């Protein structure tokens, strides 16, 4: 999907046997993108209909978000931070509580492109190719694109 304001597009692909890689450029400095993505008070502004139950952004800290679907159903997601290099990289686990035990490892990399632009790349590694393919078939790309469109709007509003 394209963000109509900037033309930036989320690119998602399956790589290797068990990976999904998503990348998008944002029109904001890397430090601002990182702070916005790691601020529990700002998560509800770009994660659709989501509240933050826990977000302890430190190595060994945990996070848990609860999203409410348009039908009122709740979906919770959780994980643990494994590595944090401010403004550059975060490694965390990701688990949808609706399918306990299916835990992926996500690596977020923020690349400074200059001119106040940042490339965000997320690589998710699953236990099996079937888990990865199931995630791709779940509509995750559309949801991810919607999140990033909202993040772009939030970044633009914070810049003004």
Would you state the pLDDT for residue 159?
83
- Residue 76 within any structural domain of the chain: no
What range defines the domain where residue 86 resides? 11-42+81-159
Q: What's the predicted TM-score (pTM) here? A: 0.91
Q: β-strand 11-15 against 19-26: which pairing, if any?
A: antiparallel
Domain total in the chain = 1
Does residue 28 register a pLDDT over 80? yes
Kindly state the percentage of the chain with pLDDT values over 70.
96
The verdict on residue 71 lying in a domain is: no
Strand order across the 103-114 sheet: 11-15, 19-26, 117-125, 103-114, 89-96, 74-85, 62-68, 50-55
Tens-place pLDDT, residues 65-113: 999 988 999 999 999 999 999 999 999 999 989 888 889 999 999 999 9
pLDDT tier at 18, thresholds 50, 70, 90: very high
Residue 142, domain CATH: 3.30.530.20
């Amino acid at each position: 999907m394209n963000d109509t304001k900037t033309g930036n597009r989320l690119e998602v692909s399956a790589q290797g046997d068990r990976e999904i890689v998503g990348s998008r450029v944002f029109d904001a400095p890397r430090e601002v993108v990182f702070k916005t993505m790691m601020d529990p008070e700002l998560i509800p502004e770009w994660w659709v209909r989501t509240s933050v139950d826990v977000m302890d952004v430190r190595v060994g800290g945990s996070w848990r978000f609860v999203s409410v679907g348009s039908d009122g159903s709740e979906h919770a997601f959780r994980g643990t931070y494994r590595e944090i290099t401010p403004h550059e990289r975060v490694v965390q686990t990701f688990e949808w509580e609706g399918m306990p035990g299916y835990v992926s490892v996500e690596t977020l990399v923020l690349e400074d492109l200059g001119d106040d632009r940042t490339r965000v790349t997320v690589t998710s590694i699953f236990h099996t190719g079937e888990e990865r393919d199931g995630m791709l078939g779940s509509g995750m790309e559309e949801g991810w694109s919607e999140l990033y469109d909202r993040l772009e709007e939030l970044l633009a509003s914070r810049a003004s």
